[in-house]
Structure 1
Amino acid sequence: MNRLRQVRKQKRLTIKEVADEIGFSETRLHQYETEKREPRRETWLKLADYYDVPVAYLMGLPDGLVQHINKTQSMTFEELHEAVIQWANDRNMIKKDKLTALSQLAKVTEEHGKLSAGINKNDEEKIKDSLGDSLVTLIILAQDLDFDLLDCLNEAYNVIKDRKGKVIDGSYIKESDLHE
C-alpha cells in the first residue's frame, strides 16, 4: 500500500492544494492515493520530490527495504528483482493461478506495445520507462507462474552464450537458421 495519502495528511495539505501545485487533476491524485491508478515512474519522482520523501518510502516499500535503498542509493538487479516481488506481494498481485497469469501477460504485452511506440517515435523517456515497466511485468508474471525470472535469464544465457550466427539487417540469425 502506498503512502501518498498518509504523507499528504501529515503535511496538512488538501488534495486540491497538491493537485494545483504539481499540475495534476484532483481526480487523478485521488486515484493514485486510493491505488485505483498506478503512478508512472516520473510521477512517483515528482510526488516524492514535492513531499520531500524518498520514492521507495512513498511507494510503501517495507521499512527495511526503504532504509536499505536510502543507505545505498542504488540497488543491484537482484535487489530490485526482490523489491518488485515484495511490492507485488504487498498488493496481492501474485496469486499463482492461470487467470492472474493471463492478466499479467496482458500487462506484459501492453508494456511491449508502449515500448514499440516509444521506439517508433524515438522517444527516449518512453523507451526507458517502457523497458523498466516491461521488466516489472515480466518479474511479476514469472512469480505468478512459479518461476524465478533470474533463473529463466540464466538458462537463456546458457543456451545462447556459445551460439554462432550472423547479424543480417540488424537482427541476429543463429547459424542453424542460416542453412535453411
Structure 2
Amino acid sequence: MNRLRQVRKQKEITLKEVAEDTGISEQVLSYYENEKREPKKETWIKLADYYCVPVAYLMGLPDGLIRYIDRLGNMTFESLQDVIIQWGYERNIVNAKNTHKQFMKVSEELGELAEGINKDNQGQIKDSLGDILVTLIILSKDLDVDLLDCLKGAYGVIKDRTGKTINGVFVKESDLHE
C-alpha cells in the first residue's frame, strides 16, 4: 500500500494544491492515492520530490525506510546537504563538466520562484525555494566550493553592516553617501 494520501495529509496539502503544483490532475492523483492506477517511475520521482520524501517511502516499502524518513526530519542543514549531494551522485547530476548546465538549472528555478511570487502561489514559492537550494548545493559541489563556508563568509561580511531600508531594500551605509 502506497503512502501518497498519508504524506499529503501529514503535510496538510489538498489534492487540488498538489494538482496545481505538480501539473497532475486531481482525478489522476486520486487514482494513485486509491491505488486504482500505478504512477510511472517519473511520476513517483516527481511526487517524492514534491513531498520531500524518498520514492521508496512514498511507495510504501518496508519499515527501515520509515526510520530513514524519521531521521530526515531531524537532520541538520549539513547532513541534509550531504544527502542531497549523494542524491545528485546517484542520478549522475554532480559533475564538474556540467557546471554551466547546473547554473542554468539554478536560473530556471529562480524564474519559477518569480512566477510563484507574481501569482502569490505559496506552494510554488516553497517548491521553488527548495529547488533553488538543491540546485545551489549541487552547483557548489560541481565547483568544489563548500556552500556553508560561502554562507558563513557572507554572514561575516554583513553581520555588522549598517545602513537603511529604503522602499523595502536594505542599502549599505557606504552606498547612502554616493
Please indicate, yes or no, whether the TM-score normalized by the shorter chain is above 0.5: yes
For the residue of structure 1 that corresponds to 2:165, the secondary structure is strand
Partner of residue 32 from structure 2, selected from 6, 22, 35: 22
CA apart distance, 1:21: 2.2
Query: Structure 1 counterpart of 2:100, which letter?
Result: L
Contact 1:69–1:75 (8 Å) recurs in 2:
no
1:52 lines up with 2:60 in the alignment? yes
Return closer, same or farther for 1:117/1:90 CA change in 2, 3 Å cut-off.
same
> 1:31 deviation in Å?
3.3
CA distance in 2, matches of 1:120, 1:135: 20
Cα deviation digits, residues 13-50 of structure 1 (max 9, x gap): xxxxx988228xx89724346xxxx51533666x7676
After superposition, give the CA deviation of every residue in 1:109-154 in whole Å (9 maximum; x if it has no partner): 0111111111111111111111000000000000000101111101
The CA RMSD over aligned residues, in Å, is: 3.3
1:42 corresponds to 2:50: yes
Specify the alignment match of 1:31 in structure 2. Answer: 42
2:144 aligned residue: 146
CA separation of 1:101 and 1:71: change in aligned 2, threshold 3 A: closer
Call closer, same or farther: CA 1:101–1:28 in 2, change over 3 Å: farther
Aligned-pair distance for 1:168?
0.5
Hey, what does 1:94 align to over in structure 2?
Answer: 94
TM-score by length of 2: 0.69
Number of equivalences: 147
Does 1:73 pair with 2:73?
yes
Say if 2:32 and 2:38, in contact at 8 Å, map to a contact too: no
Point out the more displaced range, 141-150 or 67-76. Answer: 67-76
CA distance in 2, matches of 1:22, 1:44: 18
Is the 8 Å Cα contact of residues 116 and 124 (structure 2) preserved in structure 1?
yes
Q: 1:43 to 1:163 in 2, by over 3 A?
A: closer
Query: Amino acid of the residue matched to residue 31 of structure 2?
Result: E
Can you give the 5+ residue segments of structure 2 that lack an aligned partner in the other structure?
Answer: 1-27
Aligned residue among 103, 115, 118 for 2:116: 118
